[in-house]
Structures are given as C-alpha cells and as structure tokens.
C-alpha cells in the first residue's frame, strides 16, 4: 500500500472511516441562498454636475452584491434598512440610568472600598 503524505492522506482515511465525504456530498448547494441586506447602497447621478444633489440621484448600487436599484427602489430599501437597524438597537429606557444615578452608584461603591 503506498504511503499517504501529509494532512490530506490522514484526513482522507478519517473521512472514509467516518463517512464524512458522503454526508457532505448530500447537501444541495442550490438550496442555500444568502439574501443580501443591501445595507451599503451607493447613489449614482447621470451627470457630474448633479453629484451631491439628492433630488437628482438616478439610481443606487449595492456595494455588497452589485444589484442596481432605481431611485425610488433605493430610497425604499434604504428606509427599510434604517428601520431594521433601529429595531435591533432599540434600548429599554426603563433600565437606563441618568448620569446622576450612575455617579451616586459609583460614590456608594467607593465608600465601601477600604483605604
């Protein structure tokens, strides 16, 4: 039997022993579809002199997946992404402390530290 060299040889034996190759081959890659969140839309203008004027944006391009959106679609996607971010980072105000409350807590903790 020829000698198996390196990691590939050992891993090949272990894969065959534990049936890993067959198990991974059963995954249908076409079923796995990642959806781009279009969080990085870049505006485009028709003419250089229009650059920076929001009302003259002609289209948007997603920097991640390169999909192109009309001006209206891009504005909708941008608004939806912004809302999604706001939902994820919403803070429960009932657990927030004011600066004064935090300062009072620190002062109380400092009293308990022996000098």
- Other Cβ atoms closer than 10 A to 43: 19
- Other Cβ atoms closer than 10 A to 61: 17
Question: What does the pLDDT look like over 26-76, one tens digit per residue?
Answer: 556 665 566 888 888 999 999 999 999 999 999 999 998 999 999 999 999
Read off the pLDDT band of 1 (50, 70, 90): very low
Q: Yes or no: say if 41 and 49 are a contact pair by the CB < 8 Å rule.
A: no
| Closest to 71 measured CA to CA, from 81, 50, 57 | 57
Query: What is the number of alpha carbons within 13 Å of residue 71 lying toward its C-beta?
Result: 9
* Sheet with strand 41-45: strands edge to edge: 41-45, 57-62, 68-70
Spell out the domain ranges in the chain: 36-88
Q: What is the DSSP string of 18-68?
A: HTHHHHHHTS-GGG--PPP----EEEEESSGGGTT-GGGEEEEEETTT--E
Taking the C-alpha atoms of residue 54 and residue 79, their distance in angstroms, rounded to an integer, is 14
Decide which of 8 and 95 is more confident: 95
Residue 87 has pLDDT above 90, yes or no: no
């Amino acid at each position: 039997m020829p000698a198996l060299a390196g990691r590939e040889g050992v891993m090949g034996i272990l894969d065959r022993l534990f049936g890993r190759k067959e198990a991974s081959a059963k995954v249908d890659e076409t079923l796995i579809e990642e959806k781009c969140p279009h969080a990085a839309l870049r505006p485009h203008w028709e003419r250089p002199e229009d650059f920076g004027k929001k009302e003259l944006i002609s289209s948007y391009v997603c920097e991640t997946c390169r999909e192109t959106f009309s001006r209206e679609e891009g504005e909708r996607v941008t608004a939806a992404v912004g809302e999604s971010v706001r939902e994820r980072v919403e803070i429960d105000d009932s657990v927030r402390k004011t600066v004064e409350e935090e300062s009072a807590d620190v002062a109380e903790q400092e009293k308990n530290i022996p000098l």
